[in-house]
Structure 1
Amino acid sequence: MARFTAKYEIESPIGIGRAAEVLAGEQSSGTFVRLAAETDELRERSRARVERVDVLNISEQPSLPTRRRGSQYERGIVTVSWPVATIGNSLPNLLATIAGNLFELAEISAIRLLDVDLPREFVEACPGPKFGVTGTRRLAGVEEGLMVGTIIKPSVGFSPDDTAALVKQLAEADIDFIKDDELQANGPNCPLEDRAREVMRVLNDHQEKTGKKVMYAFNITDEVEEMWRHAETIQSLGGSCLMVSLHSVGLAGMRALRDHCDLPLHGHRNGWGLYSRSPDIGISYVAWQKLWRLAGADHLHVNGLGNKFTESDSVVAESARAVQAPVCEDGPTYAAMPVYSSGQTAWQIAPSRDILGSDDFIFCAGGGIMSHPSGPAAGVTALRQAAMAAREGINVEEFAKSHRELSEALERFEKPTLTKT
């Protein structure tokens, strides 16, 4: 019988072995007491099973508040498995199983979901990205090299005409990708349909003149039927990308979009810190991103090196690699396009490329383009020059000596202190 497994780092006042058994019972056939109806046959067929327990250390105080106290708190790694037959091929119910009530158990004083391992038949029953790297490149007309992108700034406050004016400037600067900020929704100050019509008028005109169709990710985050309507409108106008806030629409919403729409889905992870910031509770990106790829996300944000948030460079590197790694060992890869963003400039391009060993990513710079001393066009050129230096294996500061836009960018933006990834 096929099973799926989840790996956790947990801490417990009763020992992690016993705590893992409590977790397995709570998340399958058991409860706080043995039930008369919970026969041995039922347990064998349906229960979760503790597969491995590895103790890391012991402390005198709990990492998180807990009603259950102890004289010491054991911490370590546990692996638990479940039969697929319990949940079927359902991503929402998979999430309820591996990341449900277990976070509240009194016997556990810290818990993080580190990874999930899924059997091939479960993976193949999920749709996966419809476009991924290859389809994105085709629609954006970028056959090789990284995709240089940016975000509409200021995040909110522009009218549809204001947005289109900035998009025209960016398209003429030879940008590859533009996205709405996640805060720019479908409000009366800048209705999505009006914004899409004005932006696509500019981008369609630009394509007529140059042959290049800049990819614009419109934020369609909303109720499911509204998102379908928005998607149809954008596609009818010639748009080539849709953006959704993943935590707002949920796995079921993402799957509904993937099945209904025929444009790449740009997955924005706003709110991610709620799951990732604490070392004592939450979900690792390695586990989290698998679910979104299975649901159909074509692009996934991975933060950026030297970012303005709290994640370390090593976590960013792990996240970027994870998005392109196989979901399971012997099934479809379902690779998505990593999106670097958050305080990115020409300084971060070479190390970002080194993480993946290729140019298969979108490099989004907001201020790193808009605040270039010679304007946005020079900002885009500077990033392309930095990418050229990286491909040719030339130090970016050396390359800048003969490339004015890059030189100005390096002088304008502070060199970040990056850690080894």
Structure 2
Amino acid sequence: MSSIYEDLVSSLDSKQAAYVNLELPDPTNGEYLLGVFHLIPGGELNILQAAAEIAAESSTGTNFKVNTETKFSRVMNALVYQLDLERNLVWVAYPWRLFDRGGNVQNILTYIVGNILGMKEISALKLLDVWFPPSMLEQYDGPGFTVDDMREYLGVYDRPILGTIVKPKMGLTSAEYAEVCYDFWVGGGDFVKNDEPQANQDFCPYDKMVMHVKEAMDKAVKETGQKKVHSFNVSAADFDIMIERCEMIVNAGFEPGSYAFLIDGITAGWMAIQTIRRRYPNVFLHFHRAAHGAYTRPENPIGFSVLVLSKFARLAGASGIHTGTAGVGKMKGSPAEDVVAAHNIQYLNSTGHFFEQSWTKIMDTDKDAINLVHEDLAHHVILDDDSWRGMKKCCPIVSGGLNPVRLKPFIDVMGNVDFITTMGSGVHAHPEGTRSGAMALVQACEAYLKGVDIAEYAKDHKELAQAIEFFPKV
């Protein structure tokens, strides 16, 4: 240990020292959830003192050493085990036995990004990456119904699932809302979602919205011969209303696979996410991340990254979560943030900002685990009949300022087509309306699949030509 680290360790008081071990033998031995924070101390504390206070507050301790500690309780201390003084980075190991053994994600987050984000000992504190050991993955649900299941239902395998968000996001009646769904579906689209504020407004009663969407879907399927999917926002004021909405949809006559349940995961809460996952394991669980920017925006010094949010969504059992447009659309984001997050939730093994995360539950040296990773990278369906071997994928859902012209640029940045795109104004602002907007999106996708530039493809496809002419002007 260099003299600068020795000086930092010697500056610790007896309480702080109990939460530091810069020589922790093997943090990846399966006993710990690991986290990396960007930390700038507040007040008079140095970085290691502040890190020790964070480890204490986020595990067993408080601001003073207490006389009620036991030998066992000290085993549950979080430990600062690594520092990067140049980049103000701190690595913390959390004994995962601290956490509710019922697979409770909100309990974990209460520890590791709970009180510590409000501590006066810090002026910047952001959780940048986490690592889950295989022994911990066993305790959590992970996704049930995946995008692979949705692809099988839709019969769509070699392209993104093409979706829309109904716009205007609020103000349409139930019938008007269903009409927009119908127009998108008959234009060739696959997937329609409620916008995140959709609820039971007086001008759009929830029960009538569900009934009319079912009618519109039936008509569109009959006319196109193609299956369709609708994602319903079931977030509600309380548990009973949330389940009532789910049951209303289940009992409305939809085919299994043709509907998803959307939860506003941050504002409704992780308990809502995990309740839906456990009550309806065979329904696509759509995690909308409204309010995430309060935590994840890069310029915000307090919070957690998009990667951290997305990994916890997969752990909790979300089938898909919005991961951003990597700077291609209107939302704040970059490939370094959004694409890394997307890859970490869709692959069985992927490298994050600091950790290489394996989502296998068996030994990663096992030949079956190695084969699964190779099959996954080859874009084959995995964990279909051997789900005990790993946690299933969570699908990136991409929205926010995309349009048909921006589809290929986003695919190029993403590096694959294994996502759901939900274009709002990119469809509904088309000069000829929603149906033509959907057709333009389908045509842009066809051009990509055929390796033809969209300007060339547009010569024989009027709707795409109109989209190319219109959207760059906006």
**TM-score when scaled to structure 1?**
0.88
Q: 2:413 aligns with which of 355, 370, 387?
A: 355
8 Å CA contact 1:290, 1:323 repeated in 2 = yes
Matched, 1:27 2:58: yes
Structure 1 spans left out of the alignment, 5+ residues? 58-75, 417-421
What secondary structure, in the 3-state scheme, does the structure 2 residue paired with 1:189 have?
coil
State the AA in 2 paired with 1:360: D
State the AA in 1 paired with 2:292: W
- Deviations along 1:257-302, one digit per CA (max 9) or x if unpaired, are 1111232111111111111223311110111111111222112112
Matched, 1:299 2:328: no
Moved over 4 A (4+): none
Equivalent positions of 1:367-386 (< 5 A) are: 367-386=425-444
Structure-1 separation of matches of 2:245 and 2:168: 23
- Deviations along 1:194-221, one digit per CA (max 9) or x if unpaired, are 1101110121233234432311111111
8 Å CA contact 2:180, 2:434 repeated in 1 = no
After TM superposition, the structure 1 stretch with the greater mean CA deviation from structure 2, 246-255 or 163-172, is 163-172
- Deviations along 1:227-282, one digit per CA (max 9) or x if unpaired, are 21211211222052111111122111111111112321111111111112233111
Matched, 1:161 2:219: no
Structure-2 separation of matches of 1:241 and 1:140: 13
Alpha-carbon distance, 1:27 to partner: 1.9
What secondary structure, in the 3-state scheme, does the structure 1 residue paired with 2:125 have?
strand
* Other-structure match for 1:46: 76
Matched, 1:10 2:39: yes
What secondary structure, in the 3-state scheme, does the structure 2 residue paired with 1:165 have?
helix
Matched, 1:408 2:456: no
Alpha-carbon distance, 1:402 to partner: 4.1
Q: 1:197 aligns with which of 208, 211, 234?
A: 211
Matched, 1:336 2:350: no
* Other-structure match for 1:73: none
* Other-structure match for 1:270: 290
* Other-structure match for 1:318: 340
What secondary structure, in the 3-state scheme, does the structure 2 residue paired with 1:413 have?
helix
Structure 2 spans left out of the alignment, 5+ residues? 1-29, 350-356, 362-389
Equivalent positions of 1:68-83 (< 5 A) are: 76-83=88-95
* Other-structure match for 1:220: 234
What secondary structure, in the 3-state scheme, does the structure 1 residue paired with 2:430 have?
coil
* Other-structure match for 1:282: 303
State the AA in 2 paired with 1:408: Q
Q: Percent identity at matched positions?
A: 30
Structure-1 separation of matches of 2:74 and 2:133: 19
8 Å CA contact 1:30, 1:38 repeated in 2 = no
RMSD of aligned Cα (Å): 2.1
Alpha-carbon distance, 1:407 to partner: 2.1
**TM-score when scaled to structure 2?**
0.79
* CA spacing shift, 1:415–1:112, aligned 2, 3 Å: farther
Matched, 1:387 2:409: no
Structure-1 separation of matches of 2:108 and 2:290: 22
Alpha-carbon distance, 1:44 to partner: 4.2
After TM superposition, the structure 1 stretch with the greater mean CA deviation from structure 2, 282-291 or 23-32, is 23-32
Alpha-carbon distance, 1:317 to partner: 2.5
Structure-1 separation of matches of 2:120 and 2:260: 45
State the AA in 1 paired with 2:115: N
Alpha-carbon distance, 1:333 to partner: 4.1
- Deviations along 1:26-45, one digit per CA (max 9) or x if unpaired, are 22222222222325x23541
What secondary structure, in the 3-state scheme, does the structure 1 residue paired with 2:318 have?
coil
8 Å CA contact 1:339, 1:361 repeated in 2 = yes
Structure-2 separation of matches of 1:252 and 1:216: 23
After TM superposition, the structure 1 stretch with the greater mean CA deviation from structure 2, 249-258 or 86-95, is 86-95
Q: 2:132 aligns with which of 109, 112, 118?
A: 118
- Deviations along 1:64-111, one digit per CA (max 9) or x if unpaired, are xxxxxxxxxxxx111111112221342121111111111122221100
8 Å CA contact 1:219, 1:243 repeated in 2 = yes
Alpha-carbon distance, 1:339 to partner: 1.2
Structure-2 separation of matches of 1:25 and 1:337: 35
Matched, 1:180 2:197: no
After TM superposition, the structure 1 stretch with the greater mean CA deviation from structure 2, 321-330 or 364-373, is 321-330
* CA spacing shift, 1:130–1:415, aligned 2, 3 Å: farther
Structure-2 separation of matches of 1:244 and 1:323: 18
What secondary structure, in the 3-state scheme, does the structure 2 residue paired with 1:414 have?
helix
What secondary structure, in the 3-state scheme, does the structure 1 residue paired with 2:440 have?
helix
Alpha-carbon distance, 1:120 to partner: 1.2
Structure-2 separation of matches of 1:406 and 1:172: 16
State the AA in 1 paired with 2:80: V
* CA spacing shift, 1:414–1:319, aligned 2, 3 Å: farther
8 Å CA contact 2:189, 2:442 repeated in 1 = no
- Deviations along 1:332-387, one digit per CA (max 9) or x if unpaired, are 24311211111111222112222343321111111111122233222222222222
8 Å CA contact 1:177, 1:214 repeated in 2 = yes
Alpha-carbon distance, 1:147 to partner: 1.3
* CA spacing shift, 1:131–1:173, aligned 2, 3 Å: same
State the AA in 2 paired with 1:34: K
Matched, 1:96 2:110: yes
